[in-house]
Amino acid sequence: MKTIVLHGSPRKNGNSDTLARHFLDGMKTGSKHAIKHFYANDLNIKPCQGCESCSDNLADYCVIEDDMQEIYRGFIDAEVVVFATPMYWGYMTAQLKTVVDRMEAIASQKYFKGKTYIVLATYRHHVESTVAFFKRIIGFFGGDLHVITCRTIDPANGADKPITDFPDVLKQAYELGREIGACVHSKTS
């Protein structure tokens, strides 16, 4: 099974990466997986220029030559796509949003349909807009969407809490990984 993980956080091994790691650990219990990680903050990705060249391009790739080309190849081949991101001002990070915007170049049901999508989002105050975005987009393309969110703040005093203080959420991610790994494995066997 081929899986890609699109990491939106500029801080490696933070809350959203930890949540993704638990999900992936669960997936690995069912079968072999080829997992490719993309850390948006480390990549050279220019924002979409709105040139619409992709609508005329038979290769379905963006004309901008940068690190998105590798993400396109990984995405097209993937059976499972994981978006892991913290929320900044109630939305996915700018780094991940740049990647998502550039997906316009391959926005076709032939590339999106039939995949399993996992959204893992950590937040302080708001997560609704990002969850609604993924529900709308994945629903349009006909993918299978699963969302896990975790509020990593103590609402009583406003102090940040590490995701390790939320073992139930980490277990939920692990169990979802096991379920997805077993389900996708049975489809491909």
Q: Render pLDDT for 118-163 as a digit per residue (tens, 0 to 9).
A: 999 999 999 999 999 999 999 999 899 999 999 999 989 999 999 9
CA distance 21 to 176: 12
Tokens 């993924």, located at residue:
134
Asked if the model's pLDDT at residue 186 lies above 70, the reply is no
Q: What angle do CA 155, 160, 162 make, to 5 degrees?
A: 120
pLDDT of residue 108: 75
Mean pLDDT of 94-115: 91
CA distance 60 to 117: 21
CA distance 52 to 50: 5
Q: What is the mean pLDDT of the chain?
A: 92
Pairing, β 91-92 against β 80-88: antiparallel
Mean pLDDT of 1-27: 96
Q: What is the pTM of this model?
A: 0.94
User: Other C-beta atoms within 10 Å of 131: how many?
Assistant: 17
State the amino acid at position 76 in one-letter form: I
Mean pLDDT of 78-87: 97
Report which secondary-structure segment, H or E, holds 146: strand 144-151
pLDDT of residue 189: 47
pLDDT of residue 187: 55
Fold adopted by 2-188: Rossmann fold (3.40.50)
Distances (CA, A) of 64 to 42, 67, 70, 105: 17, 9, 12, 10
Position 76 confidence tier, pLDDT thresholds 50, 70, 90: very high
